[in-house]
Amino acid sequence: MSKATASPARSKSPAATADSLTAKRTSNGIDIKQLLEAGAHFGHKTSRWHPKMGPFIHSQRGGSHIIDLTKTVEALEAALAFITDQVAAGKQILLVGTKRQAKEPVKAAAEATGMPYVTERWLGGMLTNQATIGGRIKYLKDLENRLANGELAARYNKLEVQRFAEEIEAMNHIYGGIKELAARPGALVSVDVNEDLNAVREARKLGIPVVALIDTNADPGLADYPIPANDDAIKTIQLIVDYVQAAIEAGQAQRAKAAPAPDKDEIAEAAPAPAPEALPKAEPAAAAPAAVTEPKAAAKPKAAKKPAAKAKKPATVEKVAKKPAAKKILAKSGEGRAEKK
């Protein structure tokens, strides 16, 4: 007699699981039914699965694995809470999505929240080689400033200015998303760890936490916060990125509330001093009647001052000689001098 083999217990289908949890929402507003409608439960073919993804696989259908969305909701809730805490602490979140389906959603979410992002080819050393990457970003900013203030136009001809503009455009295509990137972001969010493997490896080398979508063909051990979900469907990527954007905005709101309020003394100093109230004008007193006074006698006219007598000048020898008495004296003195000689 052949022994009957016991078949493994089959869990509920993803649709039944979603229907039972339709009304269930986490603190971040995650709806499992939206994940189901976006196709987040579809995995890769069974021949391409990664063994470490076993705990996150619900079943298989049509030769493809089906992801357990209840595990997706739990992992997504933990990841979003972590992102919110990092942003509330004042740290940046680097969003990475270099695959074609993820470029537009990732760029839109990053620009809406003011976070750095990479949607083109990941250059080796973007995180680990800050000396080289930082030098190129500094050169790009310098060119932009010189072009904006007219220095390039004043120094070079039109053709050379056009070449500088083309160089700026090409560098912005590569470095535009990380021009304001801090030396060490708080976390790295990746849409596909297999596609963004270099970015994930650099982040892990520096000890930066990694939040990533993990499909059935990827290693969940590459991420600190793995989110089991379909990483190829555009709707799924858009939905997950929207959740990440909401978590970042929640963290920014918490940081704004936690900002210290200005002191009362500072507010009093900054406020203009109130204008002094105008005092009521006093009514003019009644004019007193003028006292009757006797007319004064007319003043006598003052005598005119006599002109001062002119000082007499001393008499000179010539004037003295003109007098007759003086002439005789001079003549005698002249005769006496002649006799002595």
> Does any domain span residue 218?
yes
> Does any domain span residue 165?
yes
> Does any domain span residue 14?
no
Highest mean pLDDT among 18-22, 34-38, 44-48, 324-328: 34-38
Q: H/E element holding 95?
A: strand 93-96
What are 63's two structure tokens? 């030769």
pLDDT digits (tens, 9 = 90+) for 203-253: 999 999 999 999 999 999 999 999 999 989 999 999 999 999 999 999 999
Whether residues 114 and 221 share a domain: the answer is yes
Nearest to 147 by CA among 167, 123, 170, 130: 167
In the block, tokens 């002595």 appear at 340
Question: Side by side, which strands form the sheet with 42-45?
Answer: 42-45, 64-67, 57-61
**Residue 189, phi-psi category: left (phi > 0), alpha (psi -120 to 50), beta (remainder):** beta
CB contact at 8 A, 231 and 237: yes
pLDDT digits (tens, 9 = 90+) for 127-159: 999 899 999 999 999 999 999 998 999 999 999
Whether residues 41 and 59 share a domain: the answer is yes
Cα(246)–Cα(229) distance, integer angstroms? 19
| Per-residue pLDDT band at 282 (split at 50, 70, 90) | low
Q: Single out the residue in 239, 258, 277 at which a domain terminates.
A: 258
The CATH number of the domain where 235 resides is what?
3.40.50.10490
Q: Give the least confident one: 103-117, 233-247, 310-324.
A: 310-324
Whether residues 234 and 214 share a domain: the answer is yes
Cα(8)–Cα(5) distance, integer angstroms? 9
pLDDT of residue 307 exceeding 90: no
Whether residues 161 and 199 share a domain: the answer is no
What are 86's two structure tokens? 């990092």
Q: H/E element holding 207?
A: none
What pairing do the DSSP bridges indicate for beta strands 187-190 and 225-228?
A: unpaired
Region 79-90: mean pLDDT is 94
Whether residues 164 and 56 share a domain: the answer is no
> Does any domain span residue 6?
no
Whether residues 38 and 154 share a domain: the answer is no
Whether residues 43 and 176 share a domain: the answer is no
| pLDDT value, residue 180 | 87
Chain centroid, CA 255 distance in Å: 14
pLDDT digits (tens, 9 = 90+) for 284-303: 555 555 554 555 555 555 55
Q: Single out the residue in 258, 285, 315 at which a domain terminates.
A: 258
Q: H/E element holding 105?
A: helix 103-113
> How many domains does one find in the chain?
2
Whether residues 71 and 191 share a domain: the answer is yes
pTM of the model: 0.68
Domain span at 69: 28-124+185-258
Whether residues 161 and 117 share a domain: the answer is no
> Does any domain span residue 8?
no
Cα(214)–Cα(194) distance, integer angstroms? 9
Whether residues 39 and 167 share a domain: the answer is no
Cα(233)–Cα(215) distance, integer angstroms? 11
Q: Single out the residue in 203, 226, 258 at which a domain terminates.
A: 258
> Who wins on pLDDT, 259 or 241?
241
Whether residues 201 and 159 share a domain: the answer is no
Nearest to 89 by CA among 204, 235, 250, 280: 250
